[in-house]
Homo-oligomer: A and B are copies of this chain.
Amino acid sequence: MTSTDFPSFGGVAGSVGANLPALRGHNTALVLGLLRAAGEAGVSRLELAAQTGLTPQAVSKITARLRTEGLAAEAGRRASTGGKPATALRLVPGARHAVGLHLDRDELTAVRVDLAGRAVAVRHTPLALAAGAERVLGTVEREVAALLAGAAGPPVLGVGVACPGPLDHTSGVLHRVTGAPEWDGFPLRDVLAARFGLPAVLDKDTNAAALGLAQGMPAGAGSFGYLHLGTGLGAGLVLGGSLYRGPRTGAGEFGHQIVQLDGPRCGCGQRGCIEALCLAAVARGDLPGAARALGVGAANLVELLDIDRVLLGGRTVLDHPEEFLGGVSRALAAQARTRGGPGTRTAVSVALAPGGARTVADGAAELVLAPLFGGRPPVRQAGQGD
């Protein structure tokens, strides 16, 4: 055997060495993710083997462990196809819970979800993000305590926290949050983790929303963008099945994409930013104009990143869904017409992000859940380019 055929770990570009526990964890998470994707119907062991590329025996061992730990269970039998009928396996959603927090500028949404990502409890409260740390932390602590009060629930894995940016996901520290500069440098993740005695994860609201939306997608949905238009305009990017945050959690700053050279001045100091165009149009009641600006930005996004789908969310969009959906799809259709010929795709689909006002909070909980469920569902089966 020559050394020319290193499998390179399934095409994955990892950066650290892997040992046997890591191998086991990888495969376990992968199986758990497929169980989750299968939902109530469940999957048989052989189907899991086919989807993972593992042998049936390996899947049997892994699922046996998961059943022992209470994370998976049998879910009846399939109809026979000429032999012994397959036993369906499914996730036990109630085996663990997670908490998701959406700290917006004027309100707090807190959810408690099960392993399937379904909300078990929801709480809403007004919140003045700019009112100072102690005040805000007190409210957060009270709301989370109320969520966790349900006594005999399953173990809670952690707390996911979503905020307006900028912030640093890696260190869990807030930066100069627009409209609330006194939070600059505040180590929100570690402070909350200490108060709750639970692991915490911090991310931008748009990133959390995109991560949450990446679950509910049909298996193999590769890349999409979530555009959030509320008091500001931002985006969450899922590229190749995983959330792209950028080196400094700065990715997705969609609002200050310049689409009009020498256009109107934006609050950021530049000219012709999408956000400035959009907000000005909304302010003067020109919804088609706002939707058109958003649509041009969406088209640029699609062109640059070759994404499959655009999802819209945020209060302003939710207030006028038809106008924004129409405007953005017109812009994408115009773009698609520029690329005729076979082999190229048709217009990218546009839709409202499901979940409505709870999109971000659900996604925040996903920040905690996602590490349990390995990568995206398999796109390429095996056979490398040989």
Contact = CB atoms under 8 A, between A and B. Distances in A.
Interface of A: 2-4, 6-23, 25-30, 32, 52-54, 58, 66, 69, 71, 96, 155, 157, 166, 168, 170, 172-173, 175-176, 181, 184-185, 189, 199, 201, 222-223, 235, 239-242, 244-254, 256-261, 263, 268-270, 272, 277, 293, 296, 299-301, 303-308, 334-335, 337-345, 371-372, 374-382, 385-386
A18 B18 CA distance: 11
Given A249-B306, A338-B268, A385-B201, A27 B17 contact: yes
Given A8-B25, A259-B261, A338-B268, A306 B247 contact: yes
Contact of A53 (B8, B13, B16, B235): B16
A176 B299 CA distance: 21
A257 B258 CA distance: 10
A23 to B, nearest CB: 5
Q: How many chain copies?
A: 2
Nearest to A52: B17
21 contacts: A6-B25, A6-B29, A8-B25, A9-B23, A9-B374, A10-B16, A13-B375, A15-B375, A16-B378, A17-B54, A18-B26, A20-B23, A166-B343, A175-B342, A176-B341, A247-B307, A251-B305, A253-B306, A258-B259, A259-B260, A304-B304
Contact of A386 (B13, B181, B199, B306): B199
A299 B20 CA distance: 44
A108 B3 CA distance: 30
Contacts of A308: 247
A375 to B, nearest CB: 4
Given A184-B342, A250-B306, A257-B300, A15 B10 contact: yes
Nearest to A12: B14
A68 B339 CA distance: 52
Nearest to A263: B261
Contact of A30 (B14, B27, B376): B14
A343 B26 contact: no
A39 B189 CA distance: 40
Contacts of A18: 9-10, 18, 23, 26-27
A374 B254 contact: no
Contact of A244 (B21, B240, B339): B240
Given A155-B4, A258-B299, A184 B374 contact: no
Contact of A376 (B11, B13, B58, B251): B13
Nearest to A69: B3
A136 B292 CA distance: 44
Contacts of A69: 2-3
B9 A14 contact: yes
A142 B342 CA distance: 31
A339 to B, nearest CB: 8
Closest 8 CB pairs of A and B: A246-B306, A250-B306, A17-B52, A13-B375, A9-B26, A17-B54, A222-B247, A7-B25
A372 B248 CA distance: 29
B343 A184 contact: yes
B54 A338 contact: no
Given A269-B337, A337-B269, A304 B15 contact: no
Contacts of A307: 246-247
A192 to B, nearest CB: 12
